[in-house]
Amino acid sequence: MSGEHVEIATEDGVADGYLARPADDDGRRPGVLLLVDAFGLRPQIEQMAERIAQRGFVVLAPNVFYRHGRAPVLPMPDLEDPEARGPFMEKIGPMMQELTPEVIASDSRGYLDSLAKAARGPFAITGYCMGVRLGWRIATAHPDRVVALAGFHGGGLVTDDPDSPHRSAGELTVEVYLGHADNDRSMTPENIATLERALEEADVSYRSEVYEGAAHGYTMADTSMYDERAAERHYQALFALLDRTL
């Protein structure tokens, strides 16, 4: 397996990113776009990209906050300190709000074009936390280039906003897998039921599961929310989706 930091041309500038390839990459491996959580592109994300690449995929993880600088845009807070998370979220919150559906669709053209230089398409997307929402937007914006969407401990997929992701379920043409966190305020049981109903009404091929006992952020080994058992379950579900669709 090999990994390198890369630059990704977008319509608004240049995003930095991390590209991981299998050791025996022959230039024809299928591609996966990995979309980060709110803590952004960092060594933990790079390690996850490498784990997926070892399975035989080319993985690109872009710094979606590139407009505010190269990764890490903000230093990781000490998540063992309950007083550290609040200030971090206050800073990152406005950056997240800037990632509107229009901005995501625009940036994703550059992400997918960059991935296409290293891998064969169509592609799959795996997203974490806010990355699930971003992945949903990209899948609906580029139905001809994306065939699968995996999302883990996603938040904000069901809101009262007119442009809530669940309202665009009818635009999805991909196979979807969702691994929800348990007792997640950003994705409640009522939200999950609403999302599943929207997917069913849109006749989307999907699987939706709640990881019992796993907190929001359970895949991230550099946070206090990490749950090794749930994280390994997430890899099993992700690999099954990738093997099936790519």
List, for residues 160-214, the tens digit of each pLDDT value.
Answer: 999 999 999 999 999 999 999 999 999 999 999 999 999 999 999 999 999 999 9
SS3 call for 138? helix
Which of 111, 110, 145, 151 minimizes the C-alpha distance to 129?
151
Q: Is 129 known to be catalytic?
A: yes
Task: Break the chain into its structural domains and give their ranges.
Answer: 2-245
The half-sphere exposure of 153 on its side-chain side, counting CA atoms within 13 A, is: 27
Q: Tell me the C-alpha distance between 97 and 44, whole Å.
A: 23
What pLDDT was estimated at residue 81? 75
Active site residue 216: yes
* Active-site residue (options: 142, 153, 166, 216): 216
What pLDDT, in 10s, does the model give residues 135-151?
999 999 999 999 999 99
pLDDT of residue 86: 84
Active-site residue identified among 129, 153, 166, 227: 129
Q: What is the pLDDT of residue 12?
A: 95
Q: Which CATH class is domain 2-245?
A: alpha beta
Distance CA 19, CA 111 (A): 11
- Cβ contacts of 200 within 8 Å, gap of 6 or more: none
Q: What is the dihedral of CA 102, 175, 196, 138, to 10 degrees?
A: -10
Over residues 110-130, mean pLDDT: 97
Q: Residue 80 pLDDT more than 80?
A: no
Q: Identify the DSSP state of 10.
A: E
Distance CA 100, CA 178 (A): 22
